[in-house]
Amino acid sequence: MRRHLFAPELDEFRAVVRAFVETEVEPDYSSWVDAGRPPGWFWRRAGEIGILGIGVPKEYGGLDASTFVHSVVVTEEIQRRFLALGGVRVHTDICMPYLLEYATDEQKDRWLPRLASGGAVVALGLSEPGAGSDLKAMSTRAVRDGDHYVVDGAKTFISNGAAADLVILAVKTDPSAGRRGISLLVVESDTPGFERGRKLAKLGLQAQDLAELSFTGMRVPAENLLGAENRGFEYLTANLAQERLSIAVNSQAAARAALGAAVERTAGGEVGQSAKFALATAAVDVDAGQALIDQAVRDLVDGELGPSDAAAVKLYATELQSRTVGICLDVVGPTAFRAADPLGQAYLDGRVSRVYGGSSEIMKVIVAKSLGL
């Protein structure tokens, strides 16, 4: 089944990504944890080998004939080494589709080559101190003033926020219209009035950039409007299926990596029957999750992944990650209950997967609605 998903030509791409992760990223990774984000060279090298150009047309410097399946390869290879580099998925799986789908030709010429090469990093500015999942409650305002929008407000929990050169920013252009008054502006981080706040301390994902952003009298050229004014909510919801599948792929890969590590660390030793049964159950669970993930990836590439299916796969994979890592910690024992241990860190890193992109409870609501409940 996996061979059907991964065509033979992807083997070469996987080998390149694996070599990059093992020989360039992993040896330097501890310094990224201390800094709270990857260094600039990482983004440039990722661009050089094609990771940041997935899905981007070749004329803009993208990886030729690449699809979301290439992103799956990247995620699996990163998680295989227990690394927290979700900012890559934010760049490629979450932000890039907005530019590919809604940017004008002139905007694509300006932004896509920089992003595909790693010359620029992109973030998505949605969450606010007083508005998380409820986008219609956002308070960041953009008021048209001639050929500019004047933006005031703040965002928080922004992945890639500290490193971002571009931010796809959700703003209220018609406060009286609720979700129908939201627009998307692409903001250059050197725009006067753009400020970065404190680096946010997190339970896990220590090498993943997360920041606060604020905007005071920030004048953004009207030509940076992405798509049509007041259609931002429509654009945001249109990409939710891929965003949630991206999270699910990461959780599935994390579960498989944890299971492999636990089996390796217990092999050859005295393993009780209950531990054997626990790992056997986890192995079947992980294989079931893989089948669900692979089908969803095929559906996405074919343009057939619906909102309820994406919600179901995110719900299953993120809960699977939690169950599997918990079992692996129990089986390996006290040595794994440390943040410095790969399994201990996997436990900390994985908790947020059941929250961002829509919590497990929200996923259940979506699935229940699809059942007519």
Contact call for residues 166 and 121 (beta carbons, < 8 A):
yes
CA distance 224 to 353: 31
Q: Can you tell me which residue has the tokens 């005031």?
A: 152
CA distance 250 to 244: 10
Cα 246–Cα 249–Cα 252 angle in degrees, nearest 5: 150
CA distance 57 to 47: 14
CA distance 42 to 244: 25
β 182-188/225-226 pair status: antiparallel
- Is 243 in the active site? yes
Phi, psi (degrees; rounded to nearest 5) at 310 = -65, -40
Element (H, E) at 114: helix 105-117
CA distance 59 to 111: 12
Among 243, 264, 270, 361, the one annotated catalytic: 243
Longest pairwise C-alpha distance within the chain = 74
CA distance 277 to 279: 6
Catalytic residues: 243
